[in-house]
Amino acid sequence: MQDRILNKARELMFQTGVKHVTMDDLANQLGISKKTIYQYYKDKDALVCSVVENELANHALFCNQSVLAADNAVHEIFLLMAVIQEMFNRMNPLALFEIEKYYPLAFEKIKKHKEDFIFSMIRANLEKGMKEGLYRKDVDVNILSQYRLETSLIPFNIQVFPPNKFDMLKVNLQIIEHFVYGVATIEGHRLMDTYKLNHTAVK
């Protein structure tokens, strides 16, 4: 039952927005009483935290799978872009903004995931690419890891990229591409162009 509640909550929150989903909505969708939900989650804050924890665990799993499947550092980035695209396809673009504004405990979990897991992914990718000759040797890993980390949430900043004017997925992918092309060698550029061309051809 707890998994059913969690999965339905995630589905509703990502479709319509986190703030607008009430416990009544969730109970009605599941055909159960609110009392049953409160047996597992003491309030909505606890439920949102669980949804976020579950989503972050899935994100880490998909990222690690991409690293294992990648042929090289540039390919790894391209596979991670596919993970991001899938995430955006099933998530309301305002979800992160709402979590930051209304659910601070859940947002702290996102911040910790960003500062620990995502930072380590970025740093490892840069070091890998430099060893492979796909990223420039003069890249300062400490500076650019931190820089990329801080730009990772910019697409979700509705003050900078209001959703009525910008496609958040496109903004995210453009920022990632800009970063890769900025650190890549000529060979890295060629690989990125090849992966993009092959991806377009498959479509």
pLDDT digits (tens, 9 = 90+) for 36-53: 999 999 999 999 999 999
5 occurs within a structural domain? no
Parent domain of 85: 52-202
Average the pLDDT over 20-48 and give the result: 96
117 occurs within a structural domain? yes
CATH number of the domain to which 127 belongs: 1.10.357
7 occurs within a structural domain? no
Q: How many domains does the chain have?
A: 1
150 occurs within a structural domain? yes
Please write the tens of the pLDDT for every residue from 153-179: 888 888 899 988 998 889 998 999 999
Q: Taking 90 as the threshold, does the pLDDT of residue 82 lie above it?
A: no
pTM of the predicted model, to two decimals? 0.88
C-alpha span between 107 and 65 (Å, rounded): 25
Angle made by CA atoms 175, 178, 182, in degrees to the nearest 5 = 140
132 occurs within a structural domain? yes
Percent of the chain residues past pLDDT 90, beyond the cut: 74
b/e sequence 164-177, b meaning 16+ C-beta within 10 Å: eeeebbebbbebbe
127 occurs within a structural domain? yes
C-alpha span between 168 and 93 (Å, rounded): 7
Average the pLDDT over 61-89 and give the result: 90
C-alpha span between 24 and 31 (Å, rounded): 10
